[in-house]
Amino acid sequence: MAFNDDEQSAPVANNNGGTTTRPPGITGVPVGQVQLTKYHNAEAPLDPNDQEVLLELKGTSSATSRAALDLIAVLDVSTSMAGDKLDRMKAALLFVIRKLADVDRLSIVTFSNDAARLCPLRFVAGDAARADLGALVDGLAADGNTNIRAGLEIGLAVAAGRRLTAGRAVNVMLMSDGQQNRGDAMRLDPGGVPVHTFGLGADHDPAVLQAIAGKSREGMFHYVADGVNLTAPFSQLLGGLLTIIAQDLELTVTRVDGEAAIKKVDAGTYPQAAAADGSSVTVQFGTLYSAEVRRVLVYLALEDSTAFPPYDAEVVEAQFRYSLQGATVASNPDPVSIRRSGSAPEPSEEAPARKPEVETEMARRRHAESIREARSMADGKELERARTRLVEAQNALEDVLDQANPMVDMLREELLQLLRLMETQEAYERAGRAYAVSSLASHDRQRFAARGDAEGVRLFATPRMDAYLEQARRFDEDPGVAALPSAEEDVRQEVAANPLAPVAGQIAFYVRSAIQALQAIDKIFASVAAATSTSTSTST
């Protein structure tokens, strides 16, 4: 099965006879789209000791540049979707159609007993294109059983056969409420395409849908509870996909010989590649949304430096690179410097406190592991043990240094919801397992996932997602076109609210590059001065 008939160019005229325009946020120089911040202790003893370094990559505004989107919607239209579920899915897809910009393309695939591609990838440019796509959605009818594999096969075939690929982001969005005939769907190879899955209601199998999403590159599983409108969860995915400011993002951490060894790099479930000699580790993240964050914990073993006087030690270097619109950007190597002085504390002495940012991130990861353990216990019908584990996780949050961090409150809310959904085995089977699976997917990818609804726990949500959530609420109340701003208007509103946002990242990039160049020059002069001093002493 192969498709190679997607639309190659947007219509040249709109309904008013004018030419279509490329909206803000599509073109621009992709420099400074990503910023790196380092958190670590400023000092460490000269004795051998362990240190943690938190590296934080954050996406800047998408108002200057973002990747055009190719979205393939793969939709369950089996008998179990008949009635209210189908109506809610149609409404959510209409929201998606109205929010896509004229450089974005959409393909719609449906599945029940078999699967059908309703349209190839086509540009969502102008009212006529939106009306045509809307008519396809309005005509959806439910019939037959759920065959997830059939739908996913065609969706991935559309992705594999697409043309006009340079700089575009292809994503598959799969929605299902059933679990019949889905057994071997997990065996399909996504081929590097992100597959974002939405499990609707109590009858879907969250383990299967998460396995599909998890096997794909950076895909996410979203759980949507019975009775919840799909517009809000769909809007959150779209709020990310329409603000992709970096593709093929990767971070490399390299040790400085003689100073430190890399014990571990913790980046969740993102793939890593380590050098054969252990000198470096590269983490591959894929895409990054505007204002989205990726935090990486690097565990170091500092070498014995007791033979030296106190000095500033560069222990590791961090460097990231990414692409956008066919251009590649690489940062300069950014060293992590720690002052080495004094002796390690005695066993009876209290260890130096970590940076609050490091401590909070370590606590979040322990929190996620607690949920993983509790889920395993609940799957084994050991609900009391599972609930005890969650209570222990609640108590552990009280020890987090930065209690003012909004994330801490969201972690507490997540645990409260899980405790409620693990009160009985029936409650866990109906909704608790899906909630736990979506929570773990979110923590592992450091990306927003709906947990029952899109409003309760907002971990990893971005400002555009927050804006789209409010728009989704209004759209569900009144689907009128006038009530929903376009993606172009979203960008203009963001620029009006913060006029410097489109250039702030670029300015920061060039300033940092200049500082690093000056620091490099300073090192050269210091090295020359030291060599000259040594030569003079020898001559004397």
CATH architecture classification, 34-60+246-348: Sandwich (2.60)
What is the distance of C-alpha 47 from the center of its chain?
Answer: 38
| Contact indicator for 308, 340 with CB cutoff of 8 Å | yes
| 413 confidence band (pLDDT: 50, 70, 90) | very high
In 3D space, the residue among 231, 298, 270, 321 whose CA is nearest the CA of residue 36 turns out to be 321
| CB-based burial label for 56 (10 Å; 0-12, 13-18, 19+) | middle
Q: Quick count: other Cβ atoms within 10 Å of Cβ 310?
A: 12
Residue 13 has pLDDT above 70, yes or no: no
In the chain, where are the structural domains located?
34-60+246-348, 67-242+459-489, 355-450
| Contact indicator for 23, 209 with CB cutoff of 8 Å | no
Fill in the DSSP letter of residue 302. Answer: E
Alpha carbons 183 and 189: distance in angstroms, whole number: 14
In 3D space, the residue among 308, 333, 331 whose CA is nearest the CA of residue 258 turns out to be 308
Q: Sheet containing 105-111: give its strands across.
A: 115-123, 105-111, 69-76, 169-176, 195-200, 221-224, 451-452
How much is the pLDDT for 185? Answer: 85
Cross-strand bridge partners of residue 281: 253, 274
Alpha carbons 194 and 291: distance in angstroms, whole number: 20
Residue written as token pair 């050098």: 275
Please state the rounded mean pLDDT for residues 403-427: 96
Alpha carbons 1 and 5: distance in angstroms, whole number: 13
CA atoms within 13 A on the CB side of 348: 0
| Contact indicator for 462, 291 with CB cutoff of 8 Å | yes
Percent helix, percent strand, percent coil in the chain, to nearest 5: 40, 25, 35
CA atoms within 13 A on the CB side of 105: 24
| 504 confidence band (pLDDT: 50, 70, 90) | low
Per DSSP, helices labelled H in 446-500 are 463-477, 487-497
| 522 confidence band (pLDDT: 50, 70, 90) | low
| Contact indicator for 281, 252 with CB cutoff of 8 Å | yes
Per-residue pLDDT reduced to its tens digit, 219-275: 999 999 999 999 999 999 999 999 999 999 999 999 999 999 999 999 999 999 999
Residue 179 has pLDDT above 80, yes or no: no
| CB-based burial label for 480 (10 Å; 0-12, 13-18, 19+) | exposed
Residue 427 token pair: 């409650």
How much is the pLDDT for 26? Answer: 45
**Strand 169-176 versus strand 69-76 pairing type:** parallel
Per-residue pLDDT reduced to its tens digit, 35-89: 999 999 999 999 999 999 999 999 998 887 899 999 999 999 999 999 999 999 9
In 3D space, the residue among 352, 245, 350, 364 whose CA is nearest the CA of residue 297 turns out to be 364
Please state the rounded mean pLDDT for residues 101-121: 96
Per-residue pLDDT reduced to its tens digit, 120-177: 999 999 899 999 999 999 999 999 999 999 999 999 999 999 887 778 999 999 999 9
How much is the pLDDT for 345? Answer: 87
Per-residue pLDDT reduced to its tens digit, 282-310: 999 999 999 999 999 999 999 999 999 99
Homologous superfamily of the 67-242+459-489 domain (CATH):
von Willebrand factor, type A domain (3.40.50.410)
Residue 332 has phi, psi (to 5 degrees) of -75, 150
| 479 confidence band (pLDDT: 50, 70, 90) | confident
Helices vs strands, H then E, count in the chain: 13, 18
| Contact indicator for 171, 196 with CB cutoff of 8 Å | yes
Residue 146 token pair: 């759920």
In 3D space, the residue among 85, 219, 90 whose CA is nearest the CA of residue 159 turns out to be 219
